[in-house]
Amino acid sequence: MSVAAKDYYGILGVPRDATADDIKRAYRKLARQYHPDVNPDPTAAEKFKDINAAYEVLSDDQKRQIVDLGGDPLSPGMGGMGGPGAGGPFVGFQDIMDAFFGGATSRGPRARTRAGADAILRLDLDLVETAFGVEAPITVDTAVLCTTCSGAGTAAGTHPQTCETCGGRGEVQSVQRTFLGQVVSSRPCGSCAGYGTTIPHPCMTCGGDGRVRTRRSLTVKIPAGVEDGMRIRLAGQGEVGPGGGPSGDLYVEIHERPHDVYARKGDDLHCKVTVPMTAAALGTRLTIKTLDSEEQLEVKAGTQPGSTLRIRGKGVPHLRGAGRGDLFVHLDVRTPTKLDSSQEQMLREFARSRGEEVAELSKQGGFFSRMRDAFNGH
Ligand SMILES: [Zn+2]
Ligand SMILES: [Zn+2]
């Protein structure tokens, strides 16, 4: 007995004494559910492969007998995957088409119904909106299901017809005589584009595509604390697929407009406040308008240019978890430029009282003379 024998009955969910019809019915149901064209779940493709393998085995009397004896007809020891047999890319192919199109109406290898693409949309927001969240109205241009034909692509009361060129197979074969003998080659049918069916009377609204482009208005809920470049996913709001296939997702990409006052670094905010030299020397109180409040800030006497004051918890709220970043106020001390003669006089007296006259300074450490020498290349 093979230890690697797969539970093919279990995969299809049928009892061991299931009839051929039971197996076929179970297979069609699962194939519809897990076909990668309609099921975007990444595990669906694997599951679909298993379902096909189970059907390949259980729909073949000889192979089913091997399973019933405890073996696995698909394991390498039992002769491998059956090879490129008579049934095309894999056995059960025809039945997938039947599962989707209910029998003989379509036999083409290309499904008309396919999954839709994702869409992306740029959303410009102000700092206050990214910081505290916002319900932003957006306008989306995507393909949506054609309501006239519900995605079928056919005009009311009409149906797709089996392609006369390929007989519904979706591909045409040609036989060529070569010195090696007859060579049969196949290519997608040009008359039906490989669908196996044609739509002689297309829906007037969508032209047979099963979907139409429309402009929709949506409201997207932006959580507090998002950052520039982040994307918000709106499941199922992307493009509807051809033939009315399942929609892709819509991604809303956040773009934060630069703020007049605040520069953002992560969840911290930075701003620059200029204070006059006298205020920096004597000390003062500032009123800072934060994103959502007003804060009194004490500038201590003797504050130096480039000093930073920190207001905790007044930055941007964290996207994940509680709390907020901080607000950093960078102080720039402004030196007065246009002095009238009496102001100049006062400053000179002030300097003299502190022993800070320029003449004395240059004498002190000889610093300025050294600088001058350096510039002159000495
Ligand atoms: Zn055709
Ligand atoms: Zn339509």
What tens digit of pLDDT does each residue of 37-53 get?
A: 778 888 888 888 899 89
| For residue 169, pLDDT beyond 80 | yes
Ligand 1 geometric centre to CA of 107 (Å) = 9
pLDDT number for residue 45:
85
Ligand 2 geometric centre to CA of 252 (Å) = 28
How far is it, in rounded angstroms, from Cα 273 to Cα 60?
Answer: 82
Q: Which of 65-74, 105-114, 253-262 ranks highest by mean pLDDT?
A: 253-262
Ligand 1 geometric centre to CA of 246 (Å) = 25
Ligand 1 geometric centre to CA of 110 (Å) = 11
Chain-wide mean pLDDT for the chain?
Answer: 84
Q: Which of 86-95, 242-251, 359-368 ranks highest by mean pLDDT?
A: 242-251
Ligand 2 geometric centre to CA of 220 (Å) = 28
Contacts for 340 with CB less than 8 Å, ≥ 6 apart = none
Render the burial of 232-262: b for 16+ CB within 10 Å, e for the rest: bebeebbbbbbbbbbbbbbbbebebeebeeb
How far is it, in rounded angstroms, from Cα 40 to Cα 42?
Answer: 6
For the record, the structure tokens of 271 come out as: 């701003």
Regarding predicted confidence, which is higher, 337 or 5? 337
What is the SS3 assignment for 315?
Answer: coil
Ligand 2 ion: nearby residues, β-carbon < 5 Å = 146, 148-149, 203, 205-206
Ligand 2 geometric centre to CA of 115 (Å) = 17
| For residue 1, pLDDT beyond 50 | no
Q: How far apart are the first and last CA of the chain?
A: 96
Taking the model in full, what pTM does it have?
A: 0.58
Instruction: Give, as one character, the DSSP assignment of residue 249.
Output: -
CA nearest to 306, candidates 353, 349, 273, 269: 273
How far is it, in rounded angstroms, from Cα 277 to Cα 75?
Answer: 86
Ligand 2 geometric centre to CA of 145 (Å) = 8
pLDDT number for residue 317:
97
| For residue 321, pLDDT beyond 90 | no
* pLDDT tens readout for residues 279-306: 999 999 999 999 999 999 999 999 999 9
Ligand 1 geometric centre to CA of 166 (Å) = 4
CA dihedral 294, 295, 300, 305 (to 10 degrees): -60
How far is it, in rounded angstroms, from Cα 180 to Cα 299?
Answer: 95
pLDDT number for residue 374:
56
* 341, burial (CB in 10 Å: exposed 0-12, middle 13-18, buried 19+): exposed
Give the pLDDT mean for 148-153.
Answer: 93
Ligand 1 geometric centre to CA of 198 (Å) = 7
Q: Do 254 and 230 form a contact (C-beta atoms < 8 A)?
A: yes
pLDDT number for residue 76:
57
Confidence tier at 370 by pLDDT (50, 70, 90) = low
Give the residue carrying structure tokens 């209910």.
102
How far is it, in rounded angstroms, from Cα 318 to Cα 327?
Answer: 13
Contacts for 63 with CB less than 8 Å, ≥ 6 apart = 56, 57, 73, 74
Q: Which of 2-6, 30-34, 75-79 ranks highest by mean pLDDT?
A: 30-34
CA nearest to 64, candidates 95, 23, 99, 103: 23
Regarding predicted confidence, which is higher, 211 or 42? 211
